[in-house]
Amino acid sequence: MVKINDNFTKLPGGYLFPEISRRVKAFMAENPPKPIIRLGIGDVTQPLCPAVIEALHKATDEMAVKETFRGYSDDSCGYDFLRNAIADHDYKSRGVSISAEEICVSDGAKSDCGNIGDIFSVNNVVAVCDPVYPVYVDTNVMAGRAGTLGPDGRWSDLVYLPCTEANGFFPELPNKTPDIIYICSPNNPTGAAATKEQLKVWVDYANEHQSVILYDSAYEAYVTDPSIPRSIYEIPGAETCAIEFRSFSKTAGFTGTRCGYTVIPSALVRGGVMLRSLWTRRQNTKYNGTPYIVQRAAEAVYSPEGQRQTKETIAYYLNNAKVIREGFQKAGITCYGGVNAPYIWAKTPDNMPSWDFFDLLLKKACVVTTPGAGFGPSGEGFIRVTAFGDAEATKEAVARIVDVL
Ligand SMILES: *Cc1c(COP(=O)(O)O)cnc(C)c1O
């Protein structure tokens, strides 16, 4: 008889977003006085930019002609045209030397963050921030690296790195040394963006302990402060300890189109093996490459028009962030983020539990947010508000919130 992977049965049944949707549905059944505005889920709302659409059409036409049709590609890590564009625009232009062969294109950062565990032994101590993007935790539970879930919502074998107001939402070095360290900057959910000095502490630590940092910079395009790094490779020494995950999802609206990439420098060696070679081996075995038309669409993001158009959309979202931040402040709410990130991390008034504040905003303002407690115990006392909504709807939501608080 087949035996299932029991680790899956340890996972609590996706609590956060199903619970939000249950509460919203129940409230809607009571005929709310105003239409609901959703500032909860982290999905973009603006369409793909014209340069990307044009590239998609062109590549689609190529697929219709025998001479330019593409089937399987030779390399599941992507076509040279895209890998070279990434190396030039995202790295070389920032003074970072990452070559095309160190870049592996994929269908997105979620898959890569989740699948990277394949190249590491189950016997590794994993550290995650608290609050955290749930993918890092759940994929390690599935792999058997998390132990058992305690009543406090923490897994017995994970090292938790609290990110709180007190430490500026950036983790301090732990007592127990982890082998694998997840860092997400600009951060989902807190909206905090790490400085070079902050990252340097972890890079030095990882090199000293021969650990590996898994650096998720899905939101790098939202960095507005020129002193904040967009890539961990802007930190000297990162090339021997860090893997970086990036995505076109939040940068260029590819959440439904699917394209991202992972960078593993050749200098990153553990156990005498180049980690890059393990990852390409894994991808060539389990993945057959991102669709040609999607890679052409991603390439178009780097064209002059693509750059201009995607920057406009990012400015649109960042303006929403500003509206939210300033509105909340006006209502007397302390909030963080929303400057170098599309998320605002707002403190609940009078230490109200985050689910209660969520309910209050839902029932009084008809606005959906995300309770911070859903991202981990240290998220209690906060809610996450996204800047990815429609600008008019965002303004309306903020006006309603200011009104009810
Ligand atoms: C949205 C997001 C991603 C991007 O995921 P894709 O699979 O590329 O769409 C990665 N990491 C974090 C923290 C995110 O919020």
Tens of pLDDT, residue by residue over 322-363, are 999 999 999 999 999 999 999 999 999 999 999 999 999 999
Q: Which residue has the higher pLDDT, 187 or 405?
A: 187
* pLDDT given for residue 12 in this prediction: 85
**Which pLDDT band, with edges at 50, 70 and 90, does 380 fall under?**
very high
- Per residue in 108-163, pLDDT (tens digit) is 999 999 999 999 999 999 999 999 999 999 999 999 999 999 998 899 999 999 99
**Which pLDDT band, with edges at 50, 70 and 90, does 15 fall under?**
confident
Using alpha carbons, select from 127, 134, 250 the residue that is nearest to residue 186: 250
- For the domain bounded by 13-42+305-404, which CATH number is listed? 3.90.1150.10
What is the CATH architecture assignment of 53-302?
Answer: 3-Layer(aba) Sandwich (3.40)
- Distance from the CA of 186 to the center of ligand 1, in angstroms? 12
Decide whether any atom of ligand 1 lies within 6 Å of the 216 Cβ.
Answer: yes
What is the distance between the alpha carbons of residues 249 and 255, in angstroms, rounded to a whole number?
4
User: Taking the C-alpha atoms of 367, 373, 379 and 382 in order, what is their torsion angle to the nearest 10 degrees?
Assistant: 30
Residue 320: alpha-carbon gap to chain centroid: 19
- Distance from the CA of 367 to the center of ligand 1, in angstroms? 24
- Per residue in 28-57, pLDDT (tens digit) is 999 888 999 999 988 999 999 999 999 999
- Distance from the CA of 245 to the center of ligand 1, in angstroms? 9
Decide whether any atom of ligand 1 lies within 6 Å of the 253 Cβ.
Answer: no
Environment class of 243 (CB within 10 Å of its CB; exposed 0-12, middle 13-18, buried 19+): buried
Which of 41, 188, 246, 301 should be mutated for ligand 1, with most atoms under 8 A from CB? Answer: 188
Decide whether any atom of ligand 1 lies within 6 Å of the 169 Cβ.
Answer: no
Which of 110, 115, 287 should be mutated for ligand 1, with most atoms under 8 A from CB? Answer: 110
Decide whether any atom of ligand 1 lies within 6 Å of the 296 Cβ.
Answer: no
Decide whether any atom of ligand 1 lies within 6 Å of the 386 Cβ.
Answer: no
Ordered by start, the domain boundaries in the chain are: 13-42+305-404, 53-302
Nearest CA to ligand 1 atom 4: 109
